[in-house]
Amino acid sequence: MKRRDFIKATGIGVAGAAVAAPAIAQSAPEIKWRMTCSWPKSLDTLYGAVEVMAKAVAEATDNKFQIQVFAAGEIVPGLQALDAVQNGTVEMGHTASYYYFGKDPTFGFGTSVSFGPNQRLNQGWYTLGGGKEVLNEFYKNYNAISLLAGNTGCQMGGWFRKEIKTVSDLSGLKFRIGGFPGRVLQKLGAVPQQIAGGDIYPALEKGTIDAAEWVGPYDDEKLGFYKVAPHYYYPGWWEGGTMLLAFVNLDKWNALPKQYQSVLEQAGHYANTWMMAKYDLLNPPALRRLLANGTKLHGFSPEIMEACFKSAKELHDEIATTNASFKKVYDSMNTFTNNGYQWFQVAELGYDSFMARHLRG
């Protein structure tokens, strides 16, 4: 083959000749989707991850595949993102799976369950430990498939108008808590409330609720909870490593070209990494600011932690005896998590404990 024929055949440009466009841009169709989410725009890490995901998809496809992002309430209320995906109102939704535990408690596992895996173990279970497969088998019942698209890390235990020292202090406590863990606290006398993020502050300010949990220092500071509830507790044992998922309408997913499916999945992983890094960057200085503004930091007492652990295990075991989907996902998660923590206590825990002692400040 002559040199100029080779150049023409391969599309390689020389001396100002145009470089061939990427193969995906040449062959892929133009597609425009809409993605609703459960977050207001003011929460720039949760909502920001959705924008990061959409931007990554557009850039990887030379803008052939575009996803328009909508904040909570712009198309549907924040707690109805999955419903909008299921019925085809939108193609995608970014949300916390456990918001929909009222449909089936199995939804809890797609985000976090009480005393469940930490950040690394949760995404490890989802990605390579069988979690994605058992969850998507369940989500098919709701005409949806999930993609990993965020993780907040271990969350805080929330803001309380008064101190909580013993289990008896939980009795009658009106506590805004997301998802299924509210039932764990209900067994101990608390009164769980399901309230979207943007509505928590006024409820806390008016005394409609006595306490509220959200995410962690950075987001909590932005929402102003410290102004109306001075006692800040840790850890959020109901969210030890909170995953966030992008749900895709199953029919739309199946109709999507394979190359776009791959791009979408990888964009979700990128958004997941971005979210974790941003929270690790922003939470430490936010906590320092909160403490400087008068926030009182408390750890839940051992009595409360042990009582909550016992309540959670009893509740999960009860549901597993009557709900086959719950049991299947529960067993899968526990197998992976138990093995993971056996390893973590060998090296990770010892190292982190040592470094935390010596690098305070």
| Structure tokens belonging to residue 10 | 């391969």
- Are 177 and 193 a contacting pair, CB within 8 Å? yes
Dist CA 288 CA 295 (whole Å): 10
Residues with Cβ within 8 Å of 307's Cβ and at least 6 positions away in sequence, in order, are 167, 188
pLDDT digits (tens, 9 = 90+) for 161-190: 999 999 999 999 999 997 789 999 999 999
Q: Which run of H or of E encompasses 277?
A: helix 258-292
| Structure tokens belonging to residue 145 | 């498939």
Is 112 exposed, middle or buried, given 0-12, 13-18 or 19+ CB atoms closer than 10 A?
A: buried
- Are 76 and 298 a contacting pair, CB within 8 Å? no
| Whole-number pLDDT of residue 194 | 82
| Whole-number pLDDT of residue 179 | 72
**C-alpha torsion angle, residues 260, 69, 244, 92 (rounded to 10):** -50
One digit per residue, the tens of pLDDT, for the chain of length 361 reads: 444 443 344 343 434 334 444 555 557 899 999 999 999 999 999 999 999 999 999 999 999 999 999 999 999 999 999 999 999 999 999 999 999 999 999 999 999 999 999 999 999 999 999 999 999 999 999 999 999 999 999 999 999 999 999 999 999 999 999 778 999 999 999 999 988 777 899 999 999 999 999 999 999 999 999 999 999 999 999 999 999 999 999 999 999 999 999 999 999 999 999 999 999 999 999 999 999 999 999 999 999 999 999 999 999 999 999 999 999 999 999 999 999 999 999 999 999 999 999 987 5
Residues with Cβ within 8 Å of 9's Cβ and at least 6 positions away in sequence, in order, are 1
pLDDT digits (tens, 9 = 90+) for 29-74: 999 999 999 999 999 999 999 999 999 999 999 999 999 999 999 9
Share of the chain above pLDDT 90, in %: 87
Three-state SS annotation for 32-87:
EEEEEECCCCCCCCHHHHHHHHHHHHHHHCCCCEEEEEECCCCCCCHHHHHHHHHC
Question: How far, in Å, are 18, 237, 280, 305, 333 from residue 109 at the CA level?
Answer: 50, 14, 23, 20, 8
- Helix orientation angle between 119-128 and 324-344, rounded to the nearest 10 degrees: 120
Please give the domain boundaries of the chain with CATH numbers for all domains.
29-153+241-281 (3.40.190.170), 158-240+289-321 (3.40.190.10)
**Amino acid letter for position 269:** H
Q: What are phi and psi of 274, to 5 degrees?
A: -60, -45
Q: Are strands 191-193 and 144-151 parallel, antiparallel or unpaired?
A: unpaired
Cis peptide before 105 (omega within 30 of 0): no
| Whole-number pLDDT of residue 7 | 37
Stated pTM of the model: 0.88
Dist CA 208 CA 202 (whole Å): 8
